[in-house]
Every structure is written in structure tokens, then in C-alpha cells.
Chains A and B, each alone.
Chain A
Amino acid sequence: MDLKSILKNPYVISLPTLIVPGLSHFLLGKKVRAAIFFVVVLSTFFLGIFLNGGIFFLKESNWLYSLASLGEMGMGLTYFICLLTGLNRTSPEIISSLMFGYGTTFLISAGLMNMLLMMDAFDIAIGRKVYE
């Protein structure tokens, strides 16, 4: 079984987006779209980090933060790197910062956008969605 035939599997082709946003679209030959998705999703995520958005994990003090962590997890590898390195991990300093709400919105949105990219790649792979 070669790499090409593995990548034809819609369940497999939707996963590379979790490593690099837009990678699934790139592998499907949608290079311009892949570049746009890469820039937009990563910009949204890192602007969220810069604006002091919180990186949450499942068990948080507030259930809304736990819910937010599910959205952030959509970023895949980038999220887990931030989580493991402790970058913007929720602390009283982060939560009380002026731009915490905005930053967190950016982070959750980036994760949700990445999830949409996974579903889009799946749809393209099974032929449900046809671009030009």
C-alpha cells in the first residue's frame, strides 16, 4: 500500500489539517485555498495568543472554559504544543488581563475553523464538494 492510496481514504486525508492547517487541502491539490487557510487559521490562533487568550484543558474551574477547550483542541498539534509548553495556560494573570476575552475568542475560532477544514477535506475526498 503506497502513500497515494492511503491519502485517498477520506478519513485519513482529513487528518493532516490537525498537524498543519490547510495541509489536507494542499494534498488534495487545492494549493491556493490551502495557503489562504494556513495564513488565516494560524494568524487567528497566534493573534489569540498575543492578545492573552487562555489555553484551556478539559478540567477547568469554570465549565465554560472546559467547553472552550474542546473548540481550541481543533487546532490539533499547535494547541497541544502550547498546552505542553504552558504558553498562555490559564492563570489569574491571564484571566484578569484586558484582552483575555478577545484573545480567547480568537483561539476558539481558530480551532473551530480548523475543524471545518477537516470536514471540508473529507467532503472533497468523497466527491460531495467539487471546486472549479
Chain B
Amino acid sequence: MLKDHFFTLFLFSFLVSLFFAALYRIDFKSGVKSFLKTFLWMVLGSLAFAYLMFFTGN
């Protein structure tokens, strides 16, 4: 399962979002908000980029 492309993307996004939420946010509430925002941007952005490459590739 760990060697699945989507799961790896998901895991990486989770770890990075958690790291930055803990590093830059002062209180718990804004930390959770920052975590969700970064996580969603990373997952959805990566998927959009992957599909863009898939559909524009030869």
C-alpha cells in the first residue's frame, strides 16, 4: 500500500501540512485551519498537475 502513488502523495502532504501547521501557528484552532488548507491545496494541486501532465503528454 505504501508503494501506491496516490497514497504516497497523501502521506507526504499530511506530514508536510502537519509540520507547517505546528511550526507557524500559535493556537490550536488556527493550526487545524492551516493544516487543512495546506493539505487540501497539496493533494488537489498535485492531482490537478498530474492529470494535466497525463492529458497533455504524448
Contacts and interface: CB of A to CB of B under 8 A. Distances in A.
Given A50-B2, A98-B3, A37 B19 contact: yes
Interface residues of B, number: 14
Interface residues on A, range: 20 to 34
Nearest to A50: B2
Nearest to A120: B23
A111 B12 CA distance: 14
A106 B26 CA distance: 26
Contacts of A44: 12, 15-16, 19
A40 B3 contact: no
Contacts of B15: 40, 43-44, 47, 109
A113 interface: yes
Given A50-B2, A51-B3, A99-B3, A109 B16 contact: yes
A26 B31 CA distance: 19
A36 B26 contact: no
Given A50-B2, A51-B2, A109 B22 contact: no
A123 B42 CA distance: 27
Contact of B8 (A33, A99, A120): A99
Contact of A40 (B2, B19, B26): B19
A41 interface: yes
A33 B12 contact: no
A47 B19 CA distance: 15
A105 interface: yes
B48 interface: no
Interface of B: 2-3, 5, 8, 11-12, 15-16, 18-19, 22-23, 26-27
Interface of A: 33, 36-37, 40-41, 43-44, 47, 50-51, 98-99, 102, 105-106, 109, 113, 116-117, 120, 131-132
